């Protein structure tokens, strides 16, 4: 099997350059179809920074287009980098379709081709003339399992279903796979004895367990889970282990962290299967760091960090695995599901529409899986369902981390088939997003949140909703994330680029200095207050004691050869409400009966996370329940 590799992108200077050609500077303008042979290069602006495009032409055709350097979102940009050059060369035109959902990067590549050819003295007018298209024909497909949505839950389901020998057709409305998960932080939570049992971690983490066990139980199920955690904790204290964890504690902490709104039945399944799902990922080639950490908003040191940028590693593993399923797996891109096909009360297929408006009908022999995600990026829906006392302003002026294709469509397809919707008012804001784009190209490490007054204002190891609300209350509704490192050329962001690169190219507001006084001046905060704030923070790191904001987990002080900061604001991120499903992913009606033939997995469901999703739990969710949906649909269970 030929593996799809993840490109590593390094950006060049944002200057137009033309490669050596003959002649180097044409004496006359050439028209399309009459080129000066050679290779021409241009550097243009992409969505997140410079992009360099290389174009090779013969006398009468564009021979090759290659994107040599870019800093677009890893994984996501792979699709236009591959598809736009193919389309340009095949059509010998610049009037080709962009990749749905990656429009800005697609247009940047086309702009690079045009700029390179213009810079070589060529007239590109003819290349920009509209292409006459042959009308697309209606299409019909039949498979054992039809999957709607090409994100993490959809691909997990496709692998599980084909593992059972079932045929699968998966449709994805955009031109790329990955959904919101391809641009996520890539962190994965689960108890992991090999990494946790003898880990050294600063802070009084045992107090978190003791506080949870001291709570008055709200029902018998809560009490039973507390008792199970208590037994796990007593066994831990009698051992030589240095860090406690268990599936029971993971389930209880996730439930508590969601204000006890989620379903404990679902959370027990989730927590019990989290580590087996991690092993499943690793069996497909997914790689994680060999150290455990506390992801932002995860509330506990059980976070596994992906070795690849953002969520790209998961999808490389998924796509490589599915590449071996020829004959069982079919993938239809830029194909949007519109409604479910019913046979009485049973779901038997999907009505969809192709890129060019053609009708696509999909028949399911065994079942349909909806894995279309949530609606945090859909302004109308988030205002309709989630705007209220907790989040009073969710309008269009609030940035989002969501990809444009994730708009909640599948939730209402399920509702139209009779499914009950639950917890639709629950939505999460991510605290640390680029104030302009909503991007999460943050650098992971020991962090300290500072407001414009130079002070800390919230526990950085707390709940995401509490952090987001606290940031909104600060001056200008923003904060600075302050960190340190010994080497700016090796400290990388979730997007894979180095701190040094971001500073050199003035991206995302990154500031850097070799001393805290200068950094404070760059930030525009009171120097003396800032210096005292960092000193107090470091003192708590050294003592490991809970601070005034309640922070209990630490890793290291803010000290080193390089100090840096970057501005961040909250952005809409994840919706916790959706379709009501049972613990085996069957969609349910309001009376609790199963809708035969319909399964749902991932962010489309509303049972799991409650009022606040713990950071690092979304990928666990789509792996655990995506696998289950695929297996159950394939078995007709």
* Residue 49 confidence (pLDDT) above 90: no
Number of Cβ atoms within 10 Å of the Cβ of 49: 21
Helix axes 264-283, 618-635, angle to 10 degrees: 90
Q: What is the pLDDT of residue 445?
A: 61
Bridge partners (DSSP) listed for residue 587: 581
Predicted pLDDT at 20:
32
Q: Which two tokens stand for residue 409?
A: 């469509």
Name the percent of the chain lying above pLDDT 70: 94
Do 370 and 145 contact (CB within 8 A), yes or no? Answer: no
Known active-site residue 464: yes
Given 87, 459, 463, 464, which residue is catalytic? 464
**Tokens linked to 539:** 């003192």
Q: For residue 68, what are the CA distances in angstroms to 40, 52, 82, 271, 281?
A: 12, 6, 11, 43, 30
Which pair of structure tokens corresponds to residue 483?
């960190």
The predicted pLDDT at position 75 comes to: 85
The pLDDT value recorded for residue 408 is 95
Residue 204 predicted with pLDDT over 90: no
Q: Is 152 helix (H, G, I), strand (E, B) or coil?
A: helix
* Least confident segment among 370-379, 450-459, 516-525, 534-543: 534-543
- 16, pLDDT greater than 80: no
- pLDDT (average), residues 499-518: 90
Regarding predicted confidence, which is higher, 233 or 119?
233
Q: What share of the chain is helix, strand, coil (3-state, %, to 5)?
A: 30, 20, 45
pLDDT value of residue 2 = 38
**pLDDT tens digits along 514-532:** 999 999 999 999 999 999 9
Question: Residue 121: its pLDDT value, please?
Answer: 83
Dmax over CA atoms of the chain, in Å, equals 86
The pTM assigned to this predicted structure is 0.90
* 333: number of Cβ within 10 Å: 20
How far is it, in rounded angstroms, from Cα 258 to Cα 465?
A: 10
Residues 269-312 pLDDT 10s: 999 999 999 999 999 999 999 999 998 899 999 999 999 988 99
CA–CA dist 637, 622 (Å, integer): 19
């Amino acid at each position: 099997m030929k593996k799809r590799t993840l490109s590593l992108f390094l950006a060049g200077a944002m200057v137009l350059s033309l490669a050596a050609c003959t002649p180097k500077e044409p004496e006359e303008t050439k028209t399309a179809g009459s080129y000066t042979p050679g290779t021409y290069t241009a550097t243009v602006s992409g969505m997140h920074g410079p992009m360099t495009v290389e174009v090779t032409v013969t006398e009468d055709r564009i021979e090759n287009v290659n994107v040599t350097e870019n800093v677009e979102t890893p994984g996501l940009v792979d699709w236009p980098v591959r598809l736009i050059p193919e389309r340009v060369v095949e059509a010998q035109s610049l009037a080709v379709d962009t990749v749905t959902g990656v429009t800005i990067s697609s247009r940047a590549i086309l702009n690079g081709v045009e700029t390179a050819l213009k810079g070589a003295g060529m007239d590109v007018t003819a290349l920009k003339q509209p292409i006459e298209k042959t009308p697309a024909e209606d299409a019909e497909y039949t498979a054992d399992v039809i999957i709607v949505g090409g994100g993490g839950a959809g691909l997990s389901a496709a692998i599980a279903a084909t593992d059972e020998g079932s045929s699968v057709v998966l449709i994805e409305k955009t031109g790329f796979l990955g959904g919101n998960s391809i641009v996520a932080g890539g962190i994965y939570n689960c108890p992991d004895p090999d990494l946790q049992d003898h880990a050294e971690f600063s802070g009084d983490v045992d107090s978190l367990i003791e506080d949870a066990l001291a709570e008055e139980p709200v029902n018998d199920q809560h009490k039973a889970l507390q008792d199970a955690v208590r037994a796990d904790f007593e066994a831990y204290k009698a051992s030589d282990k240095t860090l406690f964890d268990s599936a029971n504690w993971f389930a209880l902490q996730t439930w508590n962290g969601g204000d006890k709104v989620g379903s404990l039945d679902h959370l027990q399944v989730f927590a019990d299967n989290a580590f087996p799902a991690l092993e499943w990922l690793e069996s497909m080639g997914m790689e994680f760091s060999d150290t455990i950490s506390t992801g932002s908003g995860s509330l506990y040191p059980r976070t596994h960090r992906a070795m690849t940028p953002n969520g790209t590693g998961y999808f490389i593993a998924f796509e490589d695995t599915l590449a071996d399923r020829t004959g069982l797996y079919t993938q239809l891109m830029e194909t949007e599901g519109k409604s479910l096909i019913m046979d009485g009360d049973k779901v038997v297929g999907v009505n969809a529409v192709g890129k060019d408006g053609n009708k696509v009908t999909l028949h399911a022999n065994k079942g349909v899986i909806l894995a279309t995600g949530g609606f945090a990026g859909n302004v109308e829906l988030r205002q309709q369902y989630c705007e209220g006392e907790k989040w009073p302003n969710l309008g269009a002026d609030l940035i989002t981390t969501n990809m444009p294709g994730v708009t909640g469509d599948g939730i209402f397809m399920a509702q139209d088939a009779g499914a009950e919707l639950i917890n639709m008012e629950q939505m999460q804001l991510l605290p640390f997003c680029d104030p302009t784009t909503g991007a999460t190209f943050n650098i992971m490490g020991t962090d300290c949140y500072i407001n414009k007054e130079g002070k800390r204002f919230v526990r950085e190891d707390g709940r995401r909703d509490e952090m987001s609300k606290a940031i909104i209350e600060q001056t200008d509704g923003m904060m600075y994330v302050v960190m340190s490192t010994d080497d700016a050329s090796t400290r990388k962001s979730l997007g894979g680029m180095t701190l040094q690169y971001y500073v050199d190219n003035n991206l995302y507001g990154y500031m850097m200095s070799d001393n805290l006084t200068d950094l404070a001046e760059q930030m525009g905060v009171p120097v003396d207050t800032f210096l005292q704030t960092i000193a107090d923070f470091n003192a708590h790191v050294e003592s490991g004691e809970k601070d005034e904001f309640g922070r209990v987990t630490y890793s290291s002080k803010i000290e080193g050869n390089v100090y840096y900061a970057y501005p961040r604001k909250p952005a809409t991120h994840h919706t916790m409400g959706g379709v009501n499903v049972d613990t085996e992913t069957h969609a349910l009606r309001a009376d609790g009966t199963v809708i035969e033939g319909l399964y749902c997995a991932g962010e489309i469901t509303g049972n799991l996370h409650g009022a606040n999703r713990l950071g690092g739990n979304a990928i666990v969710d789509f792996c655990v329940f995506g696998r289950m949906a695929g297996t159950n649909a394939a078995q007709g269970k």
